[in-house]
A and B are shown apart, each in its own frame.
Chain A
Amino acid sequence: MRPQRRAFASALFAALLFACAAPEARADVGMTVQPLVIEFKAMPGAESFANVTVNNSGSEPLRVTLQQIDWHTTADGSVKIESVGTEGAQSLDPYLRISAPGFELAPGETRQLTITARLPAGYPAKSGSTWGGFFIRGSRADSPPGSFGPAATVLAYDTMGTPVRHMQLTALRATQIGPGTVRLFARLRNDGENFIRPSVRVMVERASRIVDDSTLVNSTVFPGDLRVLQHDLTGLAPGAYRLETTFDYGGDTLVEGTTDFTVK
């Protein structure tokens, strides 16, 4: 019993010190960034520009810092921020510049930044896409740098030429996971040369009547990558259903898939 008491006391001691070490919490640190997505069509030897505005939408003075990032999407669609260089030859970062690395904004103040993409003249002019971006971080101006605060990513793409967009639907099924609830699983693969943002229209039919019709969107799928989609259909009465999916990946064709399922 005594060792347990000592352990508890130690933990409490640690907790109090941990809490005291943190700065005082204060309210309303806000930041608005737009746009969050930039699509360049920069060519070797030429410059392309895009403007990004950052606004202090909170009630406290804001310190804004900008950091160049690589990034990628995972099979489940999450965006993972990476250190510069991680994307190798696909990284646009060596050719991106931003007009200010950091600044402070008073409440309500807006700053416009310019992002420049400049590919060197000797850059191979082959059809394809590269990507990179910036991590824009806000924190209270009077707090230590890097303190907890709002942030946003500005993700940039550069597309040269007209790389082929294409995707394959490699699996589609619907499985009942609970009363009246069916989970749609779809697996697709980007087998083209360009990134895609596939949207999928999901129609559920029962006895020749459409009982659900919705359109889902996805984060970017890069060439060669797989994506696993999950979507729950709820409120389904017992019976036999047909599920129709139509994928629009921005290419010349649509990809369709159909599967039947029964709700017990």
Chain B
Amino acid sequence: MKSRISIATALALALAAATLPTQAAASSAPFSVGVTAAALGSITISSAAITCAPTDTISAHFACSTTTVTGSLRSSPTGSASLTVSSPAGPISGTGGSTIPIASLQITCTSTGTGKNATPSALATQTALTAGTTTACASWTTLPVVSSLDLLVGFFLDDRQVTADTYTTLTGFNVVATAT
């Protein structure tokens, strides 16, 4: 056993000597390591459109399509980070003159992540979108705010007031990364 250890030690020393000859020969100099880690947001969404196909007239929260949000978020040292959904002023207009207000749409955000600090401090549950601004989807307030994003954002429609019409696709919706 003793000889095995000696052989292993000798091999390790020989390997170290073989791989580090130039470092051993060179004069050493102190050096510093600088790290710059800026607040960043990286978002990838799995769907470039949200579609809604209500099949009844009685649902306050009819499920539309969903999108997964992956990526990462890092806040400033003492700031928080959040994911929001921005909405246009709206409304969604039909060619026949009908309209669907933005507030008829809701979001539910579900954390599916298992990464470091992946679980948000707060998540939206069938929260109505606010026209012309952002609606909170998820926020992180527990240090360190360095999160691997893996969220499912579900959209819902209150279809109880939706009348039959040909509705034009409305642009201006985004999943937004914010850090303060």
A residues near B (Cβ < 8 Å) are: 7-8, 10-19, 21-37, 55, 57-58, 60, 73, 77-82, 135, 137, 139-140, 143-153, 155, 197-199, 214-220, 231, 248, 250
Would you call A14 and B45 a contact (CB within 8 A)?
Answer: no
13 more contacts with CB within 8 A, not counting A30-B71, A217-B141, are A14-B94, A17-B167, A21-B169, A33-B40, A35-B40, A36-B177, A77-B80, A78-B139, A79-B84, A199-B143, A217-B78, A218-B141, A250-B78
User: Is B15 part of the contact surface with A, judged by Cβ < 8 Å?
Assistant: no
Task: Give the interface SS of chain A, mostly helix, strand, loop or mixed.
Answer: mixed
Set B71, B165, B167: member contacting A57, Cβ < 8 A? B71
Would you call B139 and A30 a contact (CB within 8 A)?
Answer: no
List 9 A-B pairs, Cβ < 8 Å.
A18-B166, A25-B49, A26-B47, A29-B45, A33-B41, A35-B38, A37-B75, A82-B133, A217-B145
Set A23, A79, A82, A197: member contacting B82, Cβ < 8 A? A79
User: Is B86 part of the contact surface with A, judged by Cβ < 8 Å?
Assistant: yes
User: Is B53 part of the contact surface with A, judged by Cβ < 8 Å?
Assistant: yes
Interface string of B44-56 (1 = CB under 8 A from A): 1111111111111
A135 to B56, CA, bound (A): 37
A232 to B159, CA, bound (A): 34
**Also in contact, A149 and B174, with CB within 8 A (given A10-B163, A14-B165, A19-B52):** yes
User: Which residues of chain B from 135 to 180 have a CB within 8 Å of any chain A CB?
Assistant: 136, 139, 141-143, 145, 159, 162-169, 171-180
Q: Which 4 pairs of residues, A with B, have the shortest CB-CB distance?
A: A30-B44, A146-B171, A34-B40, A35-B38
**Also in contact, A147 and B177, with CB within 8 A (given A7-B57, A31-B42, A218-B80):** no
Closest to B76 in A: A37
Would you call B134 and A29 a contact (CB within 8 A)?
Answer: no
Would you call A197 and B40 a contact (CB within 8 A)?
Answer: no
Closest to B65 in A: A25
Would you call B173 and A14 a contact (CB within 8 A)?
Answer: no
Nearest Cβ on chain B to A60's Cβ, whole angstroms: 8
**Also in contact, A10 and B164, with CB within 8 A (given A57-B42, A150-B43, A150-B44):** yes
A73 to B180, CA, bound (A): 9
A22 to B46, CA, bound (A): 16
Would you call B48 and A25 a contact (CB within 8 A)?
Answer: yes
Would you call B39 and A219 a contact (CB within 8 A)?
Answer: no
User: Is B113 part of the contact surface with A, judged by Cβ < 8 Å?
Assistant: no
Interface size, chain B (Cβ < 8 Å): 63
Closest to A78 in B: B136
**Also in contact, A32 and B52, with CB within 8 A (given A14-B165, A37-B76):** no
Nearest Cβ on chain A to B128's Cβ, whole angstroms: 14
Q: Which residues of A contact B53 (CB under 8 A)?
A: 15-16, 18-19
**Also in contact, A17 and B71, with CB within 8 A (given A140-B48, A150-B174, A152-B43):** no
User: Is B79 part of the contact surface with A, judged by Cβ < 8 Å?
Assistant: yes
Would you call B143 and A11 a contact (CB within 8 A)?
Answer: no
A73 to B167, CA, bound (A): 34
Nearest Cβ on chain B to A2's Cβ, whole angstroms: 14
> Which one of A37, A148, A215 has the highest number of Cβ atoms from chain B below 10 Å of its Cβ?
A148
Q: Which residues of B contact A140 (CB under 8 A)?
A: 48
A34 to B139, CA, bound (A): 18
Q: Which residues of B contact A250 (CB under 8 A)?
A: 78
A64 to B94, CA, bound (A): 28
Set A18, A26, A81: member contacting B134, Cβ < 8 A? A81
Q: Which residues of B contact A27 (CB under 8 A)?
A: 46-48
Set B52, B79, B136: member contacting A18, Cβ < 8 A? B52
A25 to B139, CA, bound (A): 26
Q: Which residues of B contact A19 (CB under 8 A)?
A: 51-53
Would you call B164 and A151 a contact (CB within 8 A)?
Answer: no
A60 to B45, CA, bound (A): 11
Nearest Cβ on chain B to A71's Cβ, whole angstroms: 9
A230 to B14, CA, bound (A): 59
Would you call B169 and A22 a contact (CB within 8 A)?
Answer: yes
Q: Which residues of A contact B168 (CB under 8 A)?
A: 21
